[in-house]
Amino acid sequence: IAPRLVDFFSAERQRLGTKLSLAAEIHEITGIPEKALRGDALSNFSIKERRSWAERRNTTIEEDGAYCLIGICGVSMVLNYGEGRIHAFRRLEKEIHSLYKGMDFEQFAIPVNLASFPEAAQFVAREKELSKMHELLHGHSSRAAVVLYGLGGIGKTQLAIEYVRRHKEKHTAIFWLNANDEDSLRLSFRNIAQQVLKHHPSTRVLSGVDLEGDLDRVVNAVKAWLDLQGNTRWLVVYDNYDNPRISNNSDRSTVDVRQYLPGSDHGSIIITTRSARVTQGGRLHVQELADLEDGLKILANMSGREGIENDADAKALVSKLDGLPLALSTAGAYLEHVTTSFAEYLRLYEESWLELQKTSPTLNSYENRSLYTTWQVTYNRIRKQNAASAQLLKLWAYFDKQDVWFGLLRHARSADDEWIQKLTNDELSFNEAVRLLCEYGLAHAEPSLRQLSGSAGYGVHSCVHSWTVSVLNSEWDDGLTRLALTCVASEVPTTNIDKWWLLQRRLIQHVTRHAQFITNGNVDVEGIEWALQGLGNLYADQ
């Protein structure tokens, strides 16, 4: 593991290969992961996993079985040949605990209670995010906190669970809280109190508290225990903090997580949230999986179908689901017990989206949230804060998923809907509405598509767009279709305008969408024949 270059030779002095070329064989013999052999940071592997690498190693001197792990585990230890293998490993264990958990770790040690954690799916990718989390959380003398934020279903909870799995040996206690609402948070704190008292019944700050009584007192008592001097190596995860209390939000259902954070300047905290406005730690934006191979792994794991790496239909399905773990897991769960092919599933996804989602199995690893319900709660919260934002998301179904900008929507000012009028009144009103969608992860700016013709636009994830079509617009709205068609046609420039071709190319994806509406009979064009002329002119010019 340690040397960057290792060559292997036979007894006859024939070169067999290198550490990298023989990585698969070395892994099979030793159990050392290929990623470790290829130079991955050791911090990406748990202490338990690192210790397992030496389990089958034979050493000439018995103590070397333990001593060879000193550097691997990142500890310092005096070599004492003659102490025996068992004693050497006992000293190694003590040094590991002292390094990561502190000298007095035993009086604060609580075994991890997996029953309080959400169920985890088989984890895929996210190595960069895990390394960044470790950088933000480990090796600090003061409180360390990280905020994982992103679209619902993107895998924030799964990422937090994987971090806990890899680094649980570095903490004396790990607690998982449901921060969805205040009642869930209080009950989670009561669960922490029960765990602490189970293993340390004489704990003074908790022993006199009635756990069935005032839960606010329980919360304060648990915070006092976490604040104790010497109790510095705990990790608390505040999961699903999706309804944060923002200064100008008077909604009583919102949660102020600050009331539930310990006051001392020690310990580690992970917060998962859909809101980009949570700032109680180093912020890490969790985005869709970038590599097609990672999506194929999730699909293969969940469906039980192996050898799909080169399956063209599987690749097409993964591309359509655009790196969203919840969508990939849902597709895999559906395909596990049916004979439906990948191509047939993709056809059903495009033709009968809502019915397909409703008949898909529930996923325990996503707390029984389905693809068609997961964004509804967020949408309802957005609608409470700004109805124009909610109406913009509904209107988006009648445009392409990519590159919607104010200049395109300004032609909707004549609409009867007061919220669409407000949305398109001026650019500041549009920015206010779209910013709220971005803060909750339902939309995103698209600087990579920055156009020479006007300001940059905004996009929504492919699966979110399918949801806006099938759920928010479960009854097709001919009025909104005509309105969107009017916006697109009104923006088509004539060829005597400077750089007209750039704006026309920008509009092509929206024109193509409306061409489908027209040919499928999804829009009544009576009275707006001029719009068809505009679309036809664009096609002719291009």
pLDDT of residue 404: 94
**335 lies in some domain:** yes
Mean pLDDT of 270-283: 94
Same-domain status, 165 and 207 = yes
Q: How confident is the model at residue 252 (pLDDT cuts 50, 70, 90)?
A: confident
Q: Are residues 367 and 433 in the same domain?
A: no
What's the confidence (pLDDT) of residue 104?
59
Q: Classify burial at 49, counting beta carbons within 10 Å of its beta carbon; exposed 0-12, middle 13-18, buried 19 or more.
A: middle
> What b-and-e string marks burial along 337-351, b requiring 16 or more CB atoms within 10 Å of the CB?
eeeeebeebbeebee
Segment 120-172, tens digit of pLDDT = 767 788 989 999 999 999 878 899 999 999 999 999 999 999 999 888 888 98
Say yes or no: 298 and 335 in one domain. Answer: yes
136 and 64 share a domain? no
Domain end, chosen from 327, 346, 380, is at 380
Cβ count within 10 A of residue 53? 18
Instruction: Look up residue 175 and give its two tokens.
Output: 């607690």
> Do the domain assignments include residue 1?
no
Model pLDDT for residues 70-100, shown as the tens digit of each residue? 998 888 889 999 999 999 998 998 888 777 6
User: Residues 6 or more apart from 527 whose CB is under 8 A from it?
Assistant: none
Residues 75 and 184 reside in one and the same domain? no
Residues 327 and 365 in one domain: yes
407 assigned to some structural domain: yes
At 90, is the secondary structure helix, strand, or coil? helix
The reply to whether 303 and 416 lie within a common domain is no
Q: What is the mean pLDDT of residues 368-375?
A: 80
214 in a domain, yes or no?
yes
Assigned token pair, 341: 């092919």
Residue 215: give its domain's CATH number. Answer: 3.40.50.300
- State yes or no: pLDDT of 510 exceeds 60: yes
Residues 75 and 123 in one domain: no
Q: Are residues 437 and 468 in the same domain?
A: yes
Q: Residue 174 belongs to what H/E stretch?
A: strand 173-178
* Domain shared by 130 and 150, yes or no: yes
- Bigger pLDDT: 106 or 16? 16
Q: Rounded distance, CA 334 to CA 66, Å?
A: 47
Q: How confident is the model at residue 246 (pLDDT cuts 50, 70, 90)?
A: confident
Considering the domain boundaries, does residue 108 fall inside one? Answer: no
**Tokens describing residue 321:** 């689901």
Q: How many domains does the chain have?
A: 4
Mean pLDDT to the nearest integer, 502-516:
93
**Domain span at 314:** 292-380
- pLDDT tens figures, 13-70: 999 999 999 999 999 998 899 989 988 888 778 788 888 888 888 899 999 999 999 9
Residue 31 forms part of a structural domain: yes
CB–CB of 289/153 below 8 Å? no
Nearest 5°: phi and psi at 145? -145, 145
**Of 263, 286, 309, which residue sits at a domain end?**
286
Assigned domain for 343 exists: yes
For the segment 417-473, what is each residue's pLDDT rounded down to a tens digit? Answer: 788 888 888 899 999 999 999 999 999 998 765 555 667 899 999 999 999 999 999
What radius of gyration do the chain's Cα atoms show? 28
Domain identity same for 309 and 207: no
How far apart CA 461 and CA 535 sit, in angstroms, is 26
Q: How far apart are CA 244 and CA 180, in angstroms?
A: 9
Distance (Å) of CA 137 to CA 243, 278, 282 = 24, 17, 9
Task: Select the more confidently predicted residue: 371 or 291.
Answer: 291
Query: Do 144 and 281 sit in the same domain of this protein?
Result: yes
Contact 69, 2 (CB under 8 A): no
Picking from 68, 100, 132, the residue at the C-terminal end of a domain is 100
What are the helix (H) ranges across 410-457?
A: 418-423, 427-439
Examine residue 109 and state whether it is found in any structural domain, yes or no: no
